[in-house]
Amino acid sequence: MQKSKNMDANIKVNISLPQSEFAMLKKLAKALGWNLFVQQEDNDTSMTIEQRKELIAKLHGAVQLPDDFDYKKELEHLLSEKYNLK
């Protein structure tokens, strides 16, 4: 029994991706020999104040950080790593 060399594998993947990452995705797809079909959704990101309050209430307490966590130091560290500073 021989396996077909031209296996037809159509796989559909839906992802949400920031516009800033789209160029990288195109390069990756080209390098891998993939066909890339892009369908942009028209997302209405405007929220009412009530919707924002509900979202904040849902997210409140979702992340637990130490009491001595200093986000400014963490941000400085990550940016210096990203841009090879220091």
pLDDT score for 1: 43
Please report, for residues 22, 43, 46, 60, 84, the alpha-carbon distance to residue 54 in angstroms, rounded to integers and kept in the order given.
31, 19, 14, 10, 40
Q: Quick check: helix, strand or coil at residue 78?
A: helix
Extended beta strands in the chain, E state: none
pLDDT score for 7: 46
Can you give the residue ranges of every domain in the chain? 13-40
Given a cut of 60, whether residue 60 has pLDDT beyond it is yes
Tell me the per-residue pLDDT of 5-16, one tens digit each, with 9 for 90 and over.
444 556 677 777
Q: Can you read off the two tokens belonging to residue 84?
A: 């090879």
Between 16 and 56, the more confident residue is: 56
Tell me the per-residue pLDDT of 11-54, one tens digit each, with 9 for 90 and over.
677 777 777 788 888 888 888 777 777 776 666 567 788 888 88
